[in-house]
A = this chain, B = another copy of it.
Amino acid sequence: MNEALDPFVKSSLTFSMPNLVSADSTSKAAIPTPPMTNSVTNQPRNVTGSFGVPGPTADLLVRTSYIGAFDRRLRNVHWVAEKLTKDSIDRLALSDASLSDTEESKPDRKHSTFKEDPAIPLAFRVKPNDYTNSGFDRGHLVPAADVVESQAAIDETFFMSNMSPQAPAFNRGVWASFERYVRGLVKSFDEVYVITGPMYLPKQDPEDGKFYVKYEVIGRDKTVAVPTHFFKVILGVKNGSHYMGSFVLANEGVAQDTQLDSFLLPVEAIERSTGLEFFPFLERRSVKALCSAVKCSFKLASKYRANSASEE
């Protein structure tokens, strides 16, 4: 097939756009210019004049304790990434002790409020009341409880760009339980990298046998998508070895006897569905299974506070 293509076509077809952030440090991101190949024959015409191209733009979220990329079309993130360590989690206990006499000044999520994210252009920005009366919680993707640096850092997890509409039975039940499990992994690993995001998965229609993706949209303009599922891809590092586990949970409550390992899915399946590539600079063949290093076969708490006003 390639024989039919002329040299320009061949050369122009060998590159992809780089990742949004291609450097390995969030503070020193460099975005290389893609190699735009020209040749005398069949040089691409300038087809957009001086008017620019439409995007897509993924708004990069750079916070004190996490980074992420925002999906303007679905008004959820593409993903958020955080790093947990024993030290980062322990700092909470530390500050508990040192600040016990000045209770009010202690960093705490109770001092935070949901707020719109000024980093997102107005046309694509989600407002706290876009979720009002939808029946869905404003569900944190980076959990507030993972963040201890400062009140400002906790506040950053309350930007609406860090929220997805989550069913209360999910957000306050199995998801909260799963988040606690992930925090606990710092006891087993030196470093725990967590990438979390929404998914929109198809289901087979029993009547016509075809597969459909169906998700609700909420908000004033019906632009905020309600994900059908959420993923967490977790990378634990211990003594230079890497352990990866990837989980997909439906946006709904679960039966009481649901075990954590029932949510395990190959990371490639999550990549195929999301279009993302997780930990792309990591040689995947050298990675061991997370559940070979930590216990994954236990029951998650499914109970939730049905009447609680708080959203996590």
Contact = CB atoms under 8 A, between A and B. Distances in A.
Interface of A: 1-2, 4-6, 8-9, 12-22, 24-34, 36, 38, 42-60, 62-67, 69, 71-74, 78-79, 81-83, 115, 117-121, 123-124, 149-150, 152-153, 155-156, 191, 193, 195, 202, 210-218, 221-223, 225, 235, 237, 268, 271-282
A93 B255 CA distance: 68
B118 A2 contact: yes
A59 to B, nearest CB: 5
Which of A54, A153, A280 is most buried by chain B, counting CB atoms within 10 A of its CB? A54
Q: How many copies does the complex hold?
A: 2
B272 A221 contact: yes
B27 A36 contact: yes
Given A48-B67, A60-B34, A67-B44, A6 B273 contact: no
A167 to B, nearest CB: 14
Contacts of A66: 47
Contact of A213 (B4, B64, B72, B214): B214
A33 to B, nearest CB: 6
Main secondary structure on chain A at its contact with chain B?
loop
A127 to B, nearest CB: 12
B26 A44 contact: yes
Given A13-B118, A27-B46, 7 more contacts: A16-B60, A16-B119, A24-B52, A28-B36, A42-B149, A47-B66, A54-B277
Contacts of A115: 1
Contacts of A14: 118-119
B9 A51 contact: no
Contacts of A152: 4-6, 8-9, 42
B48 A81 contact: yes
Given A17-B58, A36-B27, A215-B213, A64 B48 contact: no
Contacts of A22: 52
Nearest to A28: B36
B54 A56 contact: no
Contacts of A72: 275-276
A153 B25 CA distance: 40
A67 B5 CA distance: 17
